[in-house]
Amino acid sequence: MNVEPLTSGDEHFLRFLDELREALPSGKILSVAAYPPPTRWQPSMDVHWDESFFRAVAERSDQMAVMMYDVGQQSSKAYQQLMAAWTVEVLAWSAGKPVLLGLPAYEDAGVGYHDPKVENLQTGLRGIHRGLSKAALPENYQGVVLYSDWEMDENEWRLFREEFLKGQ
């Protein structure tokens, strides 16, 4: 089921998560693909969650995978800064729940909301590393998740391994 877009503050979604939690067998993990915080670069609340809604979803989840891409950035430096800021925010907003930070690994060029020359693994990881370097590594940071790994070739996997390990 694809629930996108999912507007910040959607009470129906929160009720759905409550009902899903009740219906899940013991020991199952409720992982939610979450939207990142609002940004001046892309102010639409259709694809961003404010802090109170993010925290409400986190309270009902076991894990959050935050989709930190499709922001229409035209500058690698600005995208890195945004990723650093979002890294700090979502880890703080997640109520201690495990968090995976979602990175773009696809080539949707020419769509207006995504420039693969700017929003890519290298710039995304560098921004995440910058955000993680501001303090001790949070216990709830579980790493990164790629969308979409099936589009990656061996060169991209090599780049991912090199860039991901730079932050270790």
What's the confidence (pLDDT) of residue 63? 96
Quote the DSSP letter at residue 150.
G
The SS3 of residue 128 is helix
The SS3 of residue 141 is strand
Would you state the structure tokens that stand for residue 112, as one six-digit string? 């207006």
* Domain residue limits, the chain: 27-166
What's the confidence (pLDDT) of residue 5? 82
What pTM value is reported for the model? Answer: 0.89
Give the span between the Cα atoms of 157 and 154, in whole angstroms.
5
What's the confidence (pLDDT) of residue 150? 86
Give the span between the Cα atoms of 55 and 76, in whole angstroms.
29
Give the span between the Cα atoms of 2 and 33, in whole angstroms.
10
Residues in the chain with pLDDT < 70?
Answer: 1-3, 43-45, 106, 108-114, 167-168
What's the confidence (pLDDT) of residue 1? 47
Burial class (CB in 10 A: 0-12, 13-18, 19+), 137: exposed
